[in-house]
Amino acid sequence: MKAGHKCLLFHHIVLSVIVLCHGQNLFFNDNGNLILPGSYNIPWMASIQNFRTLSLITIPGTHDSLALHGGPLAKCQAFSLKNQLRAGIRFLDLKVFELGDTLYVMHGVMYQRTTLKEVLDTVRAFLSEYNTEAVLIRVRSESFEKDMVNRMVQSLIGNDQHVWVNSGMPTMGQVRGKIVFLQKSTFTLGIPLIETNGKGSSKVTDVENKDKTIINQLSQAIEACGGDNAVMTYTSGTGFGTFWGMFLTPGRVAEKVNPWLNQYLRQFYPNQPRPCFGVIAMDFPGFDLIQTVINLNSW
């Protein structure tokens, strides 16, 4: 075999190994295609007892759930909304901007090519098909008149009985087939939300320090689970706006954090019962990482 052909073959083998390894360890995903295992059960919440309160469930979510556009500095997800829901995501983090009579989904100044109405329609369609599930939604206003967002969301909901806007903590049985809003700051519809993230925790200059921050946050989440509030931890981060982390885009942070997070969470599998972490909102979660979070719900 000629030297050139040997070199080409070597590179082909190396590339194949990289692709295979990536495919077997889907903790980080920057590919929009979702290939579900043939045996995968999409409605995973069906196995949760009706009497269990929502605040005692560990729920996989996404940070800036529809930040699919705008380049490496803005992009936080690869899966479309439909694919996120099918993969097991049950918490959505949405930033909206009011213009005229429409709430546009944004990430900073970047329009994410959809509206809140379209998002709600997609979630409703999913819940109509899989009515054992519930999808939690946090709305964050990027508008100048933040109170207007509350009124516009209420208008979109109307008298829909499949939307939970009460402040009381429901059981799983009470919210099956429903959208559950979470309230925080100026958004006042739904269950009160506690974040474990301290000030500046999303800024990353060193990924190892980010790991330590997440450990502290998840410890706080364990303590707060089971109360009258929903509890959420963001594992996302970016170095944008810092000097030492200027090249750490959300994707680069997630590429390092997600495999570590998967390993960290799996250490709790021998525990019976396993601890509750509330909502874990991630950037670029791969299918295997989402399943790791779901499987913490073992009592």
Delimit the domains of the chain by residue range: 56-294
pLDDT of residue 198: 66
**173: its two tokens:** 């049985």
pLDDT of residue 9: 36
Over residues 168-193, the pLDDT tens digits come to 999 999 999 999 999 999 999 999 99
With 50 as the cut, is the pLDDT of residue 31 above it? yes
Q: Cβ(26)–Cβ(286) under 8 Å? A: yes
pLDDT of residue 86: 98
Q: Cβ(191)–Cβ(212) under 8 Å? A: no
User: Looking at the domain that runs over 56-294, which CATH code has it been given?
Assistant: 3.20.20.190
Query: Which residue type, as a one-letter code, is found at position 286?
Result: G
Straight-line distance from the first to the last Cα atom of the chain, in angstroms, rounded to the nearest whole number? 59
With 50 as the cut, is the pLDDT of residue 23 above it? no
279-282 vs 59-62, strand pairing mode: parallel
pLDDT of residue 96: 95
With 90 as the cut, is the pLDDT of residue 227 above it? yes
Mean pLDDT to the nearest integer, 107-131: 92
With 90 as the cut, is the pLDDT of residue 17 above it? no
With 70 as the cut, is the pLDDT of residue 57 above it? yes
Over residues 243-281, the pLDDT tens digits come to 555 678 999 999 999 999 999 999 999 999 999 999 999
Residue 93: which H helix or E strand, with range?
Answer: strand 91-99
d(CA 280, CA 218): 9
- Looking at the chain, the whole-number percentage of residues with pLDDT higher than 70 is 87
pLDDT of residue 24: 43
Per-residue confidence band for 7, with pLDDT thresholds at 50, 70 and 90: very low
- Closest C-alpha among 115, 93, 120, 123 to residue 193: 93
- As a whole number of Å, the CA-based R_g of the chain is 20
CA 12 to chain centre: 35
Least confident stretch, 136-140, 217-221, 225-229, 242-246 = 242-246
Cis peptide before 273 (omega within 30 of 0): yes
Least confident stretch, 98-107, 111-120, 143-152 = 143-152
With 50 as the cut, is the pLDDT of residue 88 above it? yes
**27: its two tokens:** 């903790």
pLDDT of residue 72: 86
- Closest C-alpha among 151, 155, 164, 152 to residue 123: 164
pLDDT of residue 146: 80
**26: its two tokens:** 């889907």
Q: Cβ(290)–Cβ(280) under 8 Å? A: no
pLDDT of residue 206: 77
Query: Which residue type, as a one-letter code, is found at position 230?
Result: A
